[in-house]
Amino acid sequence: MPATSFEPAQPPRRATPLPIWRMFTGEYATNMLLGWDDPAFDDLYRYRRIVTLPYHVVADPDAIGRIFLDNVDNYPKPPLVLRMLSPVLRESLFTAHGADWKDQRRLMAPIFTPHAVAQFAPIFAQVARKAADRWANADRIDVSDEATRATFEVISRALFSGDAALGSDEAGEHILAVLTALGEYRLGVIFGMPWLDQSKVARRGRVSQRHLRRELKDFIRRRQGDPAPPQDFMGRLIEAFSAQHPPDRAAALILDNALLFFVAGHETTSNAVTWSLYCLGGEPNVQERAAHEAQAALAAGVSPAETVARLPYLRQVLEEAMRLYPSVPRIDRVALADDELCGHRIRKGDMVSVWPWQVHRHRQLWANPDRFDPENFSADAKARRHRFQYLPFGAGPRVCIGATFALNEGLLILAEWLARYRFRLDPEHVVAPPASVTLRPKGGLPMLIEPRERVGRRAA
């Protein structure tokens, strides 16, 4: 296959680092990708000071391995991040630490094994097909909206077997409001004074969070009284936590984790699908190869779970799109004790930050880092790569528990869509990748579509 040339959109880079005070003003406060300067993509280590807080930005893969694996106990999530997330996610797996985190992770691990995830694969395929059916007469769709709608339907069916209230558009809007509020740098959170945060976005987030918690609580109550509950995520969570904890504690943990899956489990995957389609729009030859692979895989008459194994090239595409647009562009930790990273002293209490956005586009780690090229994920290239230079799902013991779910979902959605349609960039639309909590394109991502000839028969 000839070399690719498409350099997908990114925010303009500054020539010099952003002054700290500006991080809290204007667009910089809501778009964490805007402040990057070009020299940062040559630096493996940087030191800054945010007000009184020493802040180390680390892009060196060895040091990343030390933070997330070798010395992981020294680098928990910082109180600042927990203060930001805890009002929403409370005691969930994402915000838990120490023995509590270990206990929850152990209880939830069986829910996310490849075998368990395979049982959701028919949902991924059905939801994707339903969307593709809807486009029969369309020549332009917003792939960001469509991907969000599809992944929202997937997560609500996987979690709640499509409960009417929790699967509604209204619930989707509440999730977006919660995520948007989480995405602001807010001074109240930073200084431990949440009452400072009276912006419209912050207030809307709080209202939505209360609404979702109320709905979830009712749902759990109904479920606990159901003599034959379905074996969806919720059924499995209820079973796992109820066997281990007294009823009140179990109910609280089930609620917090259900909200976590609901909030964390669809926007991230939706962005991965969206950016994959965008990149494929910029590289039609790659799209043709991925589409033919998808058509052949879907025509083989195997189950959706088996179809996933027949999409090795599409997987390269998805992985490459997540390199260029990591749905979680930044991961923060705090040092519990003094340490050394990249030859620099880290003091107890210092903040240490790893930005997949920076690491994945670093000039010392990737050839042509800003170009879309699925060959970065060929078996050979993977074997040559440092294991900590690619981390869309984080790394070490706190790596994303939903990674297999997300990858299989993303692959099946892309396969169904690419097999049926050709996607082209819309020349009238300027693509803008901002980042609040995740990397959702600003103003959506309209693309032109045209139907492909259909090949073969599909499995149920």
Interacting residues with ligand HEM (CB under 6 A): 77, 93-94, 105, 260-261, 264-265, 268-269, 272, 327-328, 331, 392-394, 398, 400-402, 405-406
Query: What is the smallest separation between the CB atom of 448 and ligand HEM, expressed in angstroms?
Result: 25
Element housing 342 (H / E): none
- CA nearest to 414, candidates 222, 151, 189: 151
Least spacing, CB of residue 87 vs ligand HEM, in Å: 17
The residue among 295 and 390 lying less far from ligand HEM, judged by its C-beta, is: 390
CB atoms closer than 10 angstroms to residue 92:
24
**Helices first, then strands: H and E counts in the chain:** 18, 9
The residue among 341 and 448 lying less far from ligand HEM, judged by its C-beta, is 341
| Residue with the CB atom nearest ligand HEM in the bound state | 402
> CB 154 → ligand HEM: shortest distance, Å?
9
To ligand HEM, the closest distance from the beta carbon of 94 in angstroms equals 4
**Residue placing its CB nearer to ligand HEM in the complex, 18 or 82:** 82
In whole angstroms, the minimum distance from the beta carbon of 452 to ligand HEM comes to 26
b (16+ CB within 10 A) / e for 371-396: bbbbebbeeeeeeeeeebbbbbbbbb
**Pairing state of beta strands 351-354 and 53-58?**
parallel
Of 121 and 448, nearer to ligand HEM (C-beta) is: 121
Q: Which amino acid is at 383?
A: A
Of the pair 94, 278, the CB lying nearest ligand HEM is at: 94
CB of 313 to ligand HEM, least distance (A): 19
Cβ atoms of 435 and 31 closer than 8 Å: yes
Give the CA angle between residues 319, 322, 326 to the nearest 5°: 155
CB within 8 Å of 61: residues ≥ 6 apart:
359, 365, 386, 387, 388, 389
Nearer to ligand HEM, 261 or 278 (CB): 261
| DSSP codes of every residue in 402-428 | THHHHHHHHHHHHHHHHHHEEEEE-TT
